[in-house]
């Protein structure tokens, strides 16, 4: 059960809100959580939607899965020179899909080991 008592549909609505906040390239920004023009970065949208504290690890997992990279944080992903608006939305929608499919509890995805890990790590 999630720590704040919200149900999965509540989380889905919060993810929808975060997606809405950065729905277009004109609403998204790099190098700051929110600017004076009302643009948000990925983390800023998560904070504004009330998702950052619990679901940032889940979103980072979605980022790394959808990009094929191993970013250390969602901020480093958002601000990377190669990151485009579509990449951010793709990762955020993937994280939402984890919640909708019931693949997350308390912000941790219930997933198989990553394919790039060795056999020894998978059997631990």
pLDDT digits (tens, 9 = 90+) for 6-51: 556 689 999 999 999 999 999 999 999 999 999 999 999 999 999 9
Degrees to nearest 5, angle at CA 73 with 7 and 60: 40
pLDDT at 73: 97
Q: What is the pLDDT confidence band of residue 103, given thresholds at 50, 70 and 90?
A: confident
- 3-state DSSP helix/strand/coil % of the chain, to nearest 5: 55, 5, 40
Overall pTM surpassing 0.85 (yes/no) = no
pLDDT over threshold 70, residue 115: no
pLDDT digits (tens, 9 = 90+) for 50-70: 999 999 999 999 999 999 999
């Amino acid at each position: 059960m999630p720590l704040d008592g919200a149900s999965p549909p509540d989380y889905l609505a919060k993810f929808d809100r975060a997606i809405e906040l950065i729905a277009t390239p004109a609403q998204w920004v790099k190098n700051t959580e929110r600017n004076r023009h009302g643009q948000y970065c990925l983390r800023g949208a998560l904070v504004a939607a009330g998702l950052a504290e619990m679901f940032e690890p889940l979103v980072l997992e979605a980022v790394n899965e959808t990009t094929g990279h191993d970013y250390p944080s969602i901020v480093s992903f958002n601000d990377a020179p190669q990151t485009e608006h579509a990449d951010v939305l793709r990762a955020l929608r993937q994280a939402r899909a984890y919640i909708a499919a019931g693949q997350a509890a308390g912000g941790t995805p219930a997933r198989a080991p990553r394919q790039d890990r060795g056999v020894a790590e998978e059997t631990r």
